[in-house]
């Protein structure tokens, strides 16, 4: 029998400030207003102080002639270039160091992290010595070591160390061959991109095939064959030719090839080895976080040691490794600014140094530099968070 709800006493109304939802929104609004007021106050004080000092503001200096040289650039640049071109050179040089540093640091970190867990005493001891030594020395001191004690101490040009008759190392940097592609090479690039898209589709299919049948498709070997075979066929059919400009000693320096200055080599080597020591510990912790029962289960299936690591341990360890490794990537991007201490023309050196001193636009230059580092770090963080969600366990 249904009860008559009309006889129930309605719940007493409470004041709006006792409602947790409304109270939370009020607190959020107050914090937002406080932040906006602080920003407006800082902006007002800055404008007043600049006006008292008779300093002009604005971004019109970007279209003025820079008037200084940069010895290492990825795009055409000269004294007659504008400040925005100098800014672009510095940003690209920073981006180059960040990308190469992340690649090599990841490689070094994974090798050292796995080596530290090795049952071989010598390999484990070497990995432990590397990690405990490198991570306890400041990054700036390591950059000075690589630059002043190693690279600048190399022999002069005429006494260079020559490897394979094509690679030369001296106190002016590293000289390597420069590839020269003919007009048909773009066909090979297009074929590689198509092969890459096909591999992506194949990856999707192999996962569905595994879920439906329980049978593993040999994806890695098939993908490698596709990425090599398709561009290779197009290469032969198109008649593409690739030659190499080998650096040759002429006069007082090497001519031809690509010259990587010691400042660039020092920052890439130093920052990769430094960050690799932290990533190694992250990898070791991730592997140890995987339950030992997983290893025993893989052993019972007859998997070899390398297959157990590649197919069972590492995929599960990645869920633990990715978040702290993201922090190391962000540290590496920001530590790339230490290159200014050894004269490498990255963003801080070119823009915060020379450009700021010549234009006097401190507020604008500092703001743009901070914005660039924020954008780079946020992009790395977003990419790693996306990958972390991909490898995370899906709750059912």
Which pLDDT score, from 0 to 100, does residue 155 have?
87
- At residue 266 the predicted structure's pLDDT band, cuts being 50, 70 and 90, is very high
Which pLDDT score, from 0 to 100, does residue 132 have?
92
Which pLDDT score, from 0 to 100, does residue 5 have?
56
Kindly report which listed range (86-90, 217-221, 351-355) carries the lowest average pLDDT score: 217-221
CA 333 to chain centre: 6
Which pLDDT score, from 0 to 100, does residue 275 have?
95
Mean pLDDT confidence for 255-264: 88
- At residue 146 the predicted structure's pLDDT band, cuts being 50, 70 and 90, is very high
- At residue 130 the predicted structure's pLDDT band, cuts being 50, 70 and 90, is very high
**Residue 395 above 60 pLDDT?**
no
pLDDT tens per residue across span 216-247: 778 888 888 988 988 888 888 888 888 888 88
Which pLDDT score, from 0 to 100, does residue 205 have?
87
Which pLDDT score, from 0 to 100, does residue 1 have?
47
Kindly report which listed range (73-87, 106-120, 296-310, 333-347) carries the lowest average pLDDT score: 296-310
pLDDT tens per residue across span 287-313: 888 888 888 888 888 777 777 877 788
Which pLDDT score, from 0 to 100, does residue 31 have?
94
**pTM beyond 0.75, yes or no:** yes
Which pLDDT score, from 0 to 100, does residue 61 have?
86
On whether the CB atoms of residues 384 and 325 are closer than 8 A, the answer is: yes
Which pLDDT score, from 0 to 100, does residue 12 have?
66
Which pLDDT score, from 0 to 100, does residue 363 have?
85
- Token pair of 295 as six digits: 């290893």
Q: What is the 3-state secondary structure (H, E, C) of the chain?
A: CCCCHHHCCCCCCCCHHHCHHHHHHHHHHHHHHHHHHHHHHHHHHHHHHHHHCCCCCCCHHHHCECCCCCCCCCCCCCCCCEHHHHHHHHHHHHHHHHHHHHHHHHHHHHHHHHHHCCCCHHHHHHHHHHHHHHCCCCHHHHHHHHHHHHHCCCCCHHHCEEECCCEEEECCEEEECEEEECCCHHHHHHHHHHHHHHHHHHHHHHHHHHHHHCCCCCHHHHHHHHHHHHHHHHHHHHCCCEEEECCEEECCEEECCEEECHHHHHHHHHHHHHHHHHHHHHHHHHHHHCCHHHHHHHHHCCCCHHHHHHHHHHHHHHHHHHHHHHHHHHHHHHHHHHHHHHCCCCHHHHHHHHHHHHHCCHHHHHHHHHHHHHHHHHHHHHHHHHHHHHHCCCCC
Kindly report which listed range (16-20, 145-149, 191-195, 344-348) carries the lowest average pLDDT score: 16-20
pLDDT tens per residue across span 150-179: 988 888 888 888 888 888 888 888 888 888
| Closest to 177 in 3D by CA, of 242, 239, 231, 93 | 242
Mean pLDDT confidence for 125-135: 93
> According to CATH, what is the number of the domain 83-133+261-391?
1.10.3720.10
Name the residue with higher pLDDT: 139 or 49.
139
Which pLDDT score, from 0 to 100, does residue 81 have?
92
Which pLDDT score, from 0 to 100, does residue 364 have?
87
Mean pLDDT confidence for 192-196: 92
How far apart CA 81 and CA 78 sit, in angstroms, is 5
């Amino acid at each position: 029998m249904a009860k008559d709800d009309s006889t129930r006493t309605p719940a007493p109304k409470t004041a709006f400030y006792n409602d947790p939802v409304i109270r939370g929104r009020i607190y959020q609004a107050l914090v937002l207003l406080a932040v906006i007021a602080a920003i407006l106050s800082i902006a007002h004080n800055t404008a007043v102080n600049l006006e008292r000092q008779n300093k002009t503001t604005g971004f019109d200096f970007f279209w003025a002639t820079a008037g200084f040289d940069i010895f290492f650039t990825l795009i055409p640049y000269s004294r007659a270039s504008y400040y925005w071109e100098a800014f672009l050179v510095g940003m690209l040089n920073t981006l180059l160091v960040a990308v190469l540093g992340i690649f090599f640091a990841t490689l070094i970190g994974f090798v050292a992290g796995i080596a530290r867990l090795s049952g071989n005493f010598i390999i484990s001891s070497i990995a432990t010595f590397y990690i405990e030594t490198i991570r306890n020395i400041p990054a700036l001191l390591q950059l000075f070591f690589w630059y002043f004690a190693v690279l600048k101490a190399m022999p002069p040009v005429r006494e260079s160390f020559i490897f394979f008759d094509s690679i030369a190392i001296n106190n002016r940097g590293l000289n390597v061959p420069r590839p020269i592609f003919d007009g048909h090479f773009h066909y090979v690039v297009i074929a590689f991109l198509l092969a890459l898209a096909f591999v992506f589709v194949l990856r999707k299919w192999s996962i569905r095939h595994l879920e439906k049948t329980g049978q593993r498709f040999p994806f890695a070997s098939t993908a490698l064959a596709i990425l090599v075979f398709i561009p290779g066929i197009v290469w032969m059919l198109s008649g593409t030719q690739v030659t190499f400009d080998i650096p040759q000693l002429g006069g007082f320096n090497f001519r031809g090839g690509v010259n990587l200055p010691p400042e660039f080599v020092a920052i890439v080597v130093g920052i990769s080895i430094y960050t690799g020591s932290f990533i190694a510990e992250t990898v070791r912790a991730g592997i140890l976080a995987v339950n030992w029962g997983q290893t025993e289960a893989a052993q019972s299936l007859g998997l070899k040691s390398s297959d157990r690591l590649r197919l069972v341990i590492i995929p599960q360890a990645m869920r633990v490794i990715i978040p702290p490794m993201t922090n190391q990537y962000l540290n590496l991007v920001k530590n790339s600014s230490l290159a200014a201490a050894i004269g490498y023309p990255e963003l801080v050196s070119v823009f915060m140094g020379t450009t700021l001193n010549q234009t006097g636009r401190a507020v604008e230059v500092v703001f743009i530099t901070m914005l660039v580092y924020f954008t780079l770090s946020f992009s790395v963080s977003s990419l790693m968070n996306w990958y972390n969600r991909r490898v995370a366990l899906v709750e059912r």
